[in-house]
Chain A
Amino acid sequence: MALGARLEISPRTSRRPDFVVITTLLALSAIGLTLIYSVTAPRLEALGLSRFEDVARQTVFVAGGLGVFALASLGSDRQWRLMTPYVYAATLLLLVLVLTPIGAERYGAQRWIPLGILDLQPSEFAKPALILALAALLSSSDEEHMSWTRIGQVVLLTAVPSVLIFQQPDLGTMLVFGFVAVAMLFVAGTSFRQIALLLLFGIIAIFIAFQLDILKDYQLARLTGFLNPASETSSTVNYNQLQSQIAVASGGISGTGLFEGTLTNLAFVPSQQTDFIFTAAAEQLGFVGAVVILGLFALMLWRLFVVAVVARDRFGQLVALGATAMLGFHIFVNVGMTLGLLPVTGLPLPLLSDGGSFYGTVALMLGVVHGIWLRRSRVPGDRHLL
């Protein structure tokens, strides 16, 4: 306590790091690597490759991500704010590039820029860029009354990358953008009436998109298939989800044991080290393990809320809340998908899913928020003090 008290007196020097965020970050990353190894090893071995092939690559990503987290923690919110226009512009450029022949197509979607050993997925980096841009825009607005002009600017900032991402296509990321934008608008002071009107516009826009046949067939199939599970039990999309639920159900309270998941290891569950990794967790670690993982996520989100409350200015507060909204939405939509609550949208589970770009994005986001924590105001909420 004495040490803490002394540190509080000199706010400009760096404060104690947030051990809760760091601990949950490390714990979730470790669980992710273990599960990736568990579900990929048998298949890799069957293919005559090293059992560690996939997990080794992801370990490199995790190590790099932790470095990103540490570096991002050093940046102050004011520096981030100055960089925001450039970050946003650079992201738009990458999103355009991915649609050009430079971008690579995988699984029927053009989402990647191949960079030798790793593929860059610009739509992932667009997420922090959008959060920073919206925070910068909204922090300068009137807290008591949100003007329609400002709302229009928010919609525009969100819509431009959304349209580019829609071309890829990546429906999941668009939904993330929408949720983050609405959450940040709400926190920044938009009235319920305004939000309701905005959502109404959104629904009308989606309806028009349906009518004009802009939405892809497979996107329709996922959404309608989910709404009507009995109609086409044979369709792949529902098959995936059904298999996932069966795997989860077979986990029981204590799970089948690590590395022992029959259904996930037998490859009944698709994309199991990426989108469906929570299925492997629930099957192998059971209800107990699944709740522990969800608990770690909850703990992390709670710390992000705390950062939002103690941030020294409105920009930092909005960045922290945007990050919370993004992570929370990802977790809920991904886990909801594996449990058959929500349609398959292809959103990965933060920190656990196999994949470099998204891990890096989450680490960056956490790092930025952690940096805000390190420069928090002495009195919670008293952001004008310094």
Chain B
Amino acid sequence: MIELQGLSKTYRSLLGGRVVPALHDLTLTLTRGEVVGVAGPNGAGKTTLISLLLGYLYPTGGTLLVEGVPPRAWVERHGVGYLAELVAIPGHWPVDTALRRYAVLAAVPSQRVPARVEALLTEFGLADQRTKRVRELSKGNLQRLGLAQALAGDSDLVILDEPTHGLDPVWTQRFRDTVRELRRPSRLMLIASHNLDELERLADRVLILHQGRVDRIVTAGSGAVPSSGVAVAYRLALGAAHPALARAFPDATAIEGRQTEWRIRGELDALNRGLAELLSAGAVVTAFAPEESRLEAEFRAAVGGDR
């Protein structure tokens, strides 16, 4: 659905004195039916990438096509379900009026607008806030209104920038359910977030941007294996301290206050070898659990100490 070929974006001041490279040589394909996460430290180029996808900015190098046409032309024809990182809706608009307007803008047929607005108000828990002005909403409610307006239409392209920012745990969970419900073979969803746990739960794959480049693409989901060279931290608990531990995991560090628990870190092969050695020496493993997600490990490996 979306093709990026050597996509680059460099910001230049009006007189060309200040040059800030934001994205450099991105080549990838995003297809319908998938949920793609975008992660990266601040300034990695996430917002620039989204602005390019919406046709709000123009590339300074390479090409970006949505179904073979430039993004702006595609957006004006089909629309995008888009939530901006900072939800900007005129403060004097009442909540229901705002949703009605966005539904109209999203080309919802006029006879279906009232029902669509009611459904959005209910789905995002805004029914009791309907007459409030946007400026009177709490951060969480404003974020929910932002999500509701993004989903007012029925676009095949959904782009959400920091969608759970400001949401409480209940609404974060509901958001996850909403994303799962939104999945369909014809729809591509792009979620940019600093919340790696969120991306790991929702995305099929995650682009990790670093200094304007795609450092790596991580396949998310429980069956995925960390990239070669990526060490993951685990917590190891034994029935009792065992002398084979020092041989199996020479870098194991005891967890403070726990007599039989250690923190170990390593690549998957090394961890498996260590565990096998430990078990064959007669140690009883009572727990072996990751201390961080694979995505966190990949992210840390990608951005190093820049995070």
Q: Do the two chains belong together in a single complex? A: no
Chain A positions near chain B (C-beta within 8 angstroms)? none
Chain B positions near chain A (C-beta within 8 angstroms)? none
